[in-house]
Structure 1
Amino acid sequence: MVAVEVLRVFTDDRGDYGNPLGVVLDGGSVPETAQRQQLAATLGFSETIFIDDAERGRLQIFTPATELPFAGHPTVGAAWVLSRELGRSVSTLETPGTRIATWADGDRVWVRGQLAATPPWWHERLADSAAVDALDGPLDPEQDATQLWAWRDEAAGVVRARVFAARYGVPEDEACGSASMRLAAALGRDLTVHHGCGSIVYARPGPPGTAEIAGRVVSDGLMA
């Protein structure tokens, strides 16, 4: 039986909400890519990660439908679990497709990724937060990887957002780091993104071609 720990990434400051993440700490227990994809689909989280080398921060990321070279909440969660539970304070994470810088600032875990490695999210701005709250799916069924957003407080950089990602086997993602990275890069400013039902993502532009995201993480323990 494969041991899977469940984290919640991008919680609020009380440790509530957050996007569930499946973590296989012993990646070697699921050696084949097809087996990993099957497990990710069975678990049904928006992403599941497999840690293959804790010393080097090497991992693989799977949605229920496909493997990704980079995703936001899995890399934030991986950095947290490596440091807090495995005692490996790595400065770089590696997937088969990219390298990701990571560091901690108080209770927030940061990652910096290449925008070219992120999924190609479509962004659409709505009139206000109430319009985002009222959504029951994307505005167009063909928008199968989209972040819909509105300013909650434009002067302060506070955004209300939701993500729908049928392309990746995720009807709605509670808190999407990579889409928030791309939004911060497009707007050219620091953002506090109130995502999904109550999660919080911190996002900002990074050096050219990159953006950064941060969030708080809690563990819900091993799955029964």
Structure 2
Amino acid sequence: MTDYDVVRVFCGPRGEYGNELGVVREGSALPDRDERQAFAAKLGFSETVFVDDPERGVIDIYTPGVRLPFAGYPCVGVAWLLDVPELVTPAGVVGTRLDGEFTWIEARPEWARARTLRQYATAAEVEALAVPPTGERSELGVPPDEVRGRVYAWAWEDEAAGRVRARGFPGRGDGVDEDEATGAAALQLTAQLGRALNIIQGTGSQLLTAPQPEGWIELGGRVFLER
């Protein structure tokens, strides 16, 4: 069995909640993409990361069903684990920094896959949502086979303070019906609203964002080593 670490990303203030991430530190153990895809499917996490160069921060990201050029919560988790100044992804170079209890990355929202950002009137409506069917389509004008029903449901808890309640439904049909924390969607919502956000997603995961110059966005959260 290939060795891997498990970290929880975007945890609450006492280390609770967070989205589990698998990290294979020795990516050379599974150099082939098909092998990596099969291993990610076997682990069953929302995403699994393979580290190809720990000193330079070169990483490769997979869901149980597809390879991703970029994803938010895997980058935050690996940035904490490797403690490097940047990560190199197929989408681009991701800046990283550690700041006390929070780990931050700087990335571009357009690197993330398209999804529907669906606003609701109240946080209670978001919390009461049922998981939408996999076949649901976005209204963003992207081909259905690219969107596959990805929905990020959100509502203001306190608009003046930038506090958001959210849930993420990847709609991929790969066994992950709901994401506990979705960093890429947080980047996209921040870009749409043009302001810093404090997001509570899933059962209680916390994501922080802050717009930066020239379309970059910082995304931060707490990371804990599970095993």
What are the residue-to-residue correspondences of 1:34-183 with 2, within 5 Å?
A: 34-83=34-83, 90-138=84-132, 141-143=136-138, 144-167=149-172, 169=174, 170-183=176-189
- The alpha-carbon deviation at position 45 of structure 1 amounts to 0.6
Q: Report the TM-score when normalising by structure 2.
A: 0.91
The secondary structure found in structure 1 opposite 2:225 is: strand
In the TM superposition, residue 142 of structure 1 has moved relative to its aligned partner by 2.5
Structure 2 contact 108–187 (Cα < 8 Å) conserved: no
Q: Percent identity?
A: 45
Q: Take 1:121 and 1:213, find their aligned partners in 2: how far apart are those partners?
A: 18
Which residue of structure 2 lines up, in the alignment, with residue 87 of structure 1? none
Q: CA deviation at 1:202?
A: 0.4
By how many angstroms is 1:212 displaced? 1.5
Q: 2:41 is matched by which residue type in structure 1?
A: A
Equivalent residue letter for 1:135: L
8 Å contact 1:57–1:92 — kept in the other structure?
yes
Taking a change above 3 Å as real, the CA distance of residues 168 and 23 of structure 1, as seen in their structure-2 partners, is farther
Question: For structure 1, which segment, 6-15 or 119-128, has the greater mean C-alpha deviation from structure 2 after superposition?
Answer: 119-128
Aligned length: 215
Q: Which amino acid aligns with 1:161?
A: A
Alpha-carbon displacement from aligned partner over 1:76-105 (angstroms, at most 9, x marks no partner): 00111102xxxxxx2110022321011111
Task: Name stretches of at least 5 consecutive residues in structure 1 with no aligned partner.
Answer: 84-89
Q: CA 1:104/1:58 → structure 2, altered by over 3 Å: closer, same or farther?
A: same
Counterpart in the other structure of 1:186: 192
Paired residue type of 2:18: G
Separation of aligned partners in 2, 1:155 and 1:76: 27
Aligned partner of residue 74 in structure 1, secondary structure: helix
Following the alignment from structure 1 to structure 2, what is the Cα–Cα distance between the partners of residues 36 and 106? 33
SS in 1 for 2:177: strand
Equivalent position amino acid for 1:33 in 2: R
Gaps spanning 5+ residues in structure 2: where? 139-148
Q: CA offsets, 1:137-186, max 9 Å, x none?
A: 23882341110000001111000000101237331110000101110111
Aligned residues: CA RMSD: 1.4
Asked if 2 retains the 8 angstrom alpha-carbon contact of 1:185 and 1:204, the reply is no
Distance 2:28 2:60 in 1: 11
Query: What displacement does 1:69 show?
Result: 1.1
Q: Is the 8 A contact 1:164 1:171 kept in 2?
A: yes
Q: Distance in 1 between matches of 2:51 and 2:132?
A: 33
